[in-house]
Structure 1
Amino acid sequence: MPIYKTRPNAESYGHDIGILLIDCRTPFIPGDVGNASTYAYPVLFRTVPDVTLERLIEQGDLTLTDKVIETARALEDAGVTAITSDCGYMMHFQEQVAAAVKIPVMLSSLLQLPFIASLLGPDQAVGIVCANKRRLTPELLEKAYPAARLPVHVTGLEHCPNFRAPILDETDTLDSDAIEAEVVGAALDLCAAHPAIGAILLECSNLPPYAAAVQKATGRPVFDFVTMTDYVRAAGRRRAYIGNY
């Protein structure tokens, strides 16, 4: 048997991915980044104090950086192999957190943009469905996709009432069927307006539950927080191949 030693600051063991949660009160349904049943491996959640929707999305408050770093370091100390978050707008802190820890950091689903673009032909484009289009600024996109190879077309859900109420306004009730219809409708409208779209990225961490419906309706591959997290987790927990030859 191996010899094990206590890890300082660890309260429990065996977690693969650490997830930074913003300080909000949204129902996290199965498939959501904030729901542990979404994953086929153990995850560890930590809420970042004071990182609210208002301060992060509406204000882009970079004075929160130290609190994000402190919480990320606590996850690293707990033994996770990589760190993600539950908001695409955490892209604001990607570089700072990556520099502060020694494990992979993927705070935003937007980090997949260069990879998605590399999969597509030169005449295609990438479509993004996000929580709030106004706050997905060119500057924020530039952080994730600095040398844009293909055009990016964005649509937001901030005017969709069934999405906005529980996700942006933090009411206590979520109608997943109604939200799915809004998300699928937004994706279809985006593809109709920009037929060159060859793949879709769902920015918001609350949108993975609807990815299958979007993929079926649009016929495009759909990427989100979960595709990113699964990919990085697989790289950090490789398995040996043993079988007949």
Structure 2
Amino acid sequence: MHWKGTLNLQSELQEVHRVPAAPFAGYAIGIIAVNLNYPKLPGNVANATTFPFPVLYEVVEFEIEELFAGSAEIEKQIITAAEKLAHRGVRAIVGACGYFGHFQQVVAEAVDVPVFMSSISQVPLIKLGLKPQQKILTLVASGEDITAEFFQKSGAQLKDCLICEIGSLASFAPIRWGKTELNNQQLTLDLVTTVQEQLAEYPEIGAILLECSDLPPYACALQQATGLAVFDFITLIHWVYTSVVQRPYHGYF
């Protein structure tokens, strides 16, 4: 019976699969990214070498402040970008900025693949792993645009987090304002110092979440300095990828 089952499985794997014609294949994750000109280090969502699997980008053209604010004027462009990615065969779509969360619901409604527009969507799962009194230190690029409604669009609760804006750091300015030179060492030190100060003031912090898609390159340094679990866009994308590209297990028993 065991051998027969194996034969049946092999037969199923050899079936012909028909899919819509496309110019290329194998991109499971589609990423919507704003066209911004600044250094994008490995670890950045907009740097393809960040990932051990191929990703497909679709670029949108508007000011980042419009995305921070969730402007209705850019909604159609974002939906169109998601539709293009879905048509090209991606199995899931993410955004390359946490503030794409403003459009989580409308994009999910527009396409037939899973959509996770913001790193903020991880908050409920992170909170589940903490003690009831613990909070998630959340580093954001624009504190003034963080509201309870914004969190709710990503299925999260603002009350579960302590918000820390890093967009005003001088070393973050090249990213925030689109400059072409970045002092990576200084930004690393500033982020570590900022987080350590937050931990000293708020001992209830139990984990760290990086809203910004430019911050994953610093996740390791933050973890080494604090010993805490650090979540970011890359943890989200890897989680999504492994769910839409399941692989058979090999071994023995």
Summarize the alignment of residues 42-61 of structure 1 with structure 2, pairs less than 5 Å apart: 42-50=54-62, 52-57=63-68, 59-61=69-71
Code of the residue aligned with 2:40 in structure 1: it is: F
8 Å CA contact 1:27, 1:173 repeated in 2: yes
Deviation for aligned residue 1:3: 4.8
Please give the alpha-carbon distance, in whole angstroms, between the structure 2 residues aligned to 1:199 and 1:146.
Answer: 15
8 Å CA contact 1:48, 1:67 repeated in 2: yes
Summarize the alignment of residues 152-191 of structure 1 with structure 2, pairs less than 5 Å apart: 152-164=161-173, 166-191=174-199
**Count of paired positions:** 240
Deviation for aligned residue 1:54: 2.4
2:11 match: none
1:204 match: 212
1:89 match: 99
2:110 match: 100
Deviation for aligned residue 1:7: 3.3
8 Å CA contact 1:19, 1:46 repeated in 2: yes
Match of 1:7 among 17, 20, 35: 20
RMSD (CA atoms) = 1.7
Name the SS of the counterpart of 2:58 in structure 1.
Answer: strand
1:29 match: 41
TM-score (norm 1): 0.92
1:71 matches 2:69: no
| Runs of 4+ deviating beyond 3 Å | 1-8, 145-148
Name the SS of the counterpart of 2:153 in structure 1.
Answer: helix
Code of the residue aligned with 1:15 in structure 2: it is: Y
Unaligned runs of 5+ in 1: none
1:147/1:181 CA distance change after superposition, 3 Å: closer
Match of 1:214 among 212, 217, 222: 222
Code of the residue aligned with 2:136 in structure 1: it is: V
1:189/1:145 CA distance change after superposition, 3 Å: farther
Name the SS of the counterpart of 2:207 in structure 1.
Answer: strand
State the Cα deviation string for residues 190-219 of structure 1 (Å, max 9, x = none). 211211110000000000000000011111
Please give the alpha-carbon distance, in whole angstroms, between the structure 2 residues aligned to 1:137 and 1:163.
Answer: 22
TM-score (norm 2): 0.89
Code of the residue aligned with 1:182 in structure 2: it is: D
Summarize the alignment of residues 100-139 of structure 1 with structure 2, pairs less than 5 Å apart: 100-139=110-149
Deviation for aligned residue 1:109: 0.2
State the Cα deviation string for residues 71-123 of structure 1 (Å, max 9, x = none). 10110111111111110000010000001111111110000001100010112
8 Å CA contact 1:129, 1:186 repeated in 2: no
Unaligned runs of 5+ in 2: 1-13
> Greater CA radius of gyration, 1 or 2?
2
1:229 match: 237
Identity of aligned residues (%): 35
**Please, which moves more after superposition, 228-237 or 189-198?**
189-198
Name the SS of the counterpart of 2:30 in structure 1.
Answer: strand
State the Cα deviation string for residues 162-208 of structure 1 (Å, max 9, x = none). 112x2111011112111111211221122112111100000000000
1:67/1:117 CA distance change after superposition, 3 Å: same
8 Å CA contact 1:62, 1:92 repeated in 2: no
Deviation for aligned residue 1:143: 2.4
Name the SS of the counterpart of 2:249 in structure 1.
Answer: coil
1:193 matches 2:193: no
Deviation for aligned residue 1:5: 5.8
